[in-house]
Structure 1
Amino acid sequence: MSGREPWADPGLRAAWAQQDWAAILREYRRAAGLSQRGLEAQIGVAQPYIAAIEKGRRRVTTPELKARIAEGLHVPPELTGAAKHTHDGWTPPAELQERIAHGHTVGRTDLRTADWIGEVLARHRRAEDEVGGQSLWPVVQSQLDAVTRLLPNTSGEAADRLLLLAAEHAHWLSWVAWAERQSGPALSWLGLAHGWAIDGGHADMASWVLRVRSYYTLQGGDPVRALRTAEAARAGSLSPGAASAAAHQTALAAAALGERTRARRLADEALALALEVPDEEDRPGWLYWLDGTRARLDAAAVAYACRDWAAAAEGIRAALPGLEKGYPRDYAHYAAQLADAERRA
């Protein structure tokens, strides 16, 4: 196992961001499959001392010990600034935009770091339900810093790849900020994500960001503007997965405006598009969740929004068992919708 492979683990990265040294050692051992004795030689600390740190009887306070542990654990460079980001700073730092504005110059960049950060972000997406967005926030913001620092020496297709990765990180930060009721910062991060997606020529990502903005607007009680934004998300040449997500959001906004016939037609279109791409590798990374189960639940959600209670209950009841693992919040959401639809049917 390579030194940085355990660092793809979201729990370990969250522990590092919090500088919780007891948790860092425990999470690293878990991710690496090591005993305390196995970790002893790696960090140059005796097993009894490691046990004392993990149990809270000893604290890691000196810069020398911190540096020794960090070196022994092979902490990735993109995490070195993670502890500096706090939950007091929800708004995007101005220097992020400036850093990217000075990109696209001729140079050479080692894209292996970017590929690694992309793999880690994919794990964060899946782990958010269990680890929590607040815990991962400083980690993802530090990763975004690392990505944007690569841009000034990058041009062409490599720069476009980095812009997509930056947009994915900004979207994730927007989503977490929205969940924490930080609506202003959520929209600011989303604006950055959309701009970077456009700059990099990534139509799917640009569409997805508009779809999320429509969702925010609909949640905020403005279905007219939500519908307008969702329709904009459908423009251009999109992959079936991205087109499905945009059509589904447009259906929800149409249903909120009482346009039920249109909503049902769009729901059918969204379902058909989603079922064209059953394999995860054929979908954009942020649509990893859009499998057949979720596509059918989305269709049932539109029926629910149209107040077709019997159809909604039937659709959710049939698809919900496929969502039991890995999505506790979504499962709870659809289970509540099912109970309500059954009561109203």
Structure 2
Amino acid sequence: MSGQELWAQPRLRAAWARQDWAGILREYRAAAGLSQRGLERVIGLPQPHICAIESGRRRVTSANLIARLTEGLDVPPELLGLPPAPGPDDWAPPPELRERIAHGHATGRTDLRTADWIGQVLAQHRRAEDEVGGRTLWPVVRAQLDSVTRLIPGTTGEAADRLMLLAAEHAHWLSWVAHTEGRTGPALAWLDVALGWAMDGGHQDMTAWVHRVRSYYALQHGDPRRAERTAQAGRAGSPSPAAASATAHQESMAAAALGDRDRARRLSDEAVRLAAVVPDEADRPGWLYWLDPVRARLQAADAACARHDWADAAAGFREALPALAGYPRDAAHYRQRLDYAQQRV
């Protein structure tokens, strides 16, 4: 595994965000398959010193040692100078991000290797969020977004559009983490930024997805009418089957909350049908990697719960649960949902 691939590991990047040098060395060794003796050759630090750092007996505080370790471990540029973890007033998008995007599509050429690399890393963060924790990864993703937006003013054409999409993906992720932390205002502000960037770059799938997430937020806050309108707006622009499936499901949940059970059922059936059109992950947008036919059936069962169709919900959960054998956390969640539905049949 190359040095760049090592630094794609979310746990390693999270340790770097905490400046937890014991964790950095341990996670680096685990990713590289190195012993402490093996790491000695990489960073030029004797094994007893490495052992002392990993055990907490030695703190890494001197600038010279930090520079030596940073160089030896080949830390990617976008992780240098990380913003601090968000405090009470630091969750919202900073104005300079909007300024960078405002100067997009200028004349020039940009080497997109950095953007491609950051896109790969974000894909791994999505999959690791539940395990590693969104708040822990927040400074890392913010730093990645800074790296992406700095590329945009000197880029034009399709390359600029690609960067706009990558920036929108990051902003959406930051919105989701802010939402899970109870920061409703910043969560909506990040979604506004993501929507603008997605539209500027001509990315209908991301535009639809941002509408879907905003609809979800509205439903969570007890406003099903607004949730319904927002989900409808996401479906209006003819997104791809996977993105249309996600918005149809969300509109179904809003319709159920409004008491329109027949329309809610039709929308849920449509969501399952659309997901079945693209069963392979490679045919779906990267942020919808999880929306395979099994997950679509589980969403349909959740929609049945929202309609109080308890028998349909229980049957749907029972049908799909065996496919979650390799996902213990998800399996436990949907077993609880199955128990909830069965108690009401």
Scaled by the length of structure 2, the TM-score of the pair is 0.97
From the superposition, tell whether residues 337 and 173 of structure 1 become closer, same or farther in structure 2 (CA, over 3 Å).
same
Q: Answer yes or no: is the 8 Å Cα contact 1:102–1:152 preserved in 2.
A: yes
Are residue 95 (structure 1) and residue 91 (structure 2) matched? no
Q: Cα offset for 1:333?
A: 3.5
Q: Cα offset for 1:320?
A: 1.9
Report the counterpart of residue 125 of structure 2 in structure 1.
124
The DSSP-based 3-state class of the residue aligned with 2:74 is coil
Are residue 344 (structure 1) and residue 330 (structure 2) matched? no
Structure 1 segment 284-303 matched on structure 2, within 5 A:
284-303=285-304
The DSSP-based 3-state class of the residue aligned with 2:7 is helix
Measure, in 2, the Cα distance between the counterparts of 1:83 and 1:46: 31
Report the counterpart of residue 257 of structure 1 in structure 2.
258
The one-letter amino acid paired with 2:320 is: A
The one-letter amino acid paired with 2:290 is: W
Report the counterpart of residue 69 of structure 1 in structure 2.
69
Report the counterpart of residue 25 of structure 2 in structure 1.
25
The DSSP-based 3-state class of the residue aligned with 2:277 is coil
Report the counterpart of residue 279 of structure 1 in structure 2.
280
Measure, in 2, the Cα distance between the counterparts of 1:166 and 1:241: 21
From the superposition, tell whether residues 137 and 146 of structure 1 become closer, same or farther in structure 2 (CA, over 3 Å).
same
Deviations 1:100-148 (A, max 9, x none): 1112111111100000000000000000110011111111011000000
Are residue 207 (structure 1) and residue 208 (structure 2) matched? yes
Structure 1 segment 154-303 matched on structure 2, within 5 A:
154-303=155-304
Q: Answer yes or no: is the 8 Å Cα contact 2:249–2:271 preserved in 1.
A: yes
Measure, in 2, the Cα distance between the counterparts of 1:181 and 1:53: 36
Q: Answer yes or no: is the 8 Å Cα contact 1:251–1:302 preserved in 2.
A: yes
Measure, in 2, the Cα distance between the counterparts of 1:303 and 1:91: 36
Measure, in 2, the Cα distance between the counterparts of 1:176 and 1:323: 25
Report the counterpart of residue 306 of structure 2 in structure 1.
305
The DSSP-based 3-state class of the residue aligned with 2:316 is helix
Q: Using the TM superposition, name which of 334-343 and 272-281 deviates more.
A: 334-343
Deviations 1:56-108 (A, max 9, x none): 01111100000000000000011112253434411111111111111211111
Measure, in 1, the Cα distance between the counterparts of 2:322 and 2:178: 30
Scaled by the length of structure 1, the TM-score of the pair is 0.97
Q: Answer yes or no: is the 8 Å Cα contact 1:36–1:51 preserved in 2.
A: yes
Report the counterpart of residue 38 of structure 1 in structure 2.
38
Number of equivalenced pairs = 344
Deviations 1:128-182 (A, max 9, x none): 1100111111110110000001111101100000000000000000011111111
Question: Identity percentage over the alignment?
Answer: 69
Are residue 80 (structure 1) and residue 80 (structure 2) matched? yes
Q: Cα offset for 1:204?
A: 0.4
Structure 1 segment 122-161 matched on structure 2, within 5 A:
122-161=123-162
Measure, in 2, the Cα distance between the counterparts of 1:266 and 1:319: 19
Q: Cα offset for 1:237?
A: 2.2
Q: Answer yes or no: is the 8 Å Cα contact 2:83–2:142 preserved in 1.
A: no
The one-letter amino acid paired with 2:5 is: E
Measure, in 1, the Cα distance between the counterparts of 2:322 and 2:185: 36
Q: Cα offset for 1:327?
A: 6.8
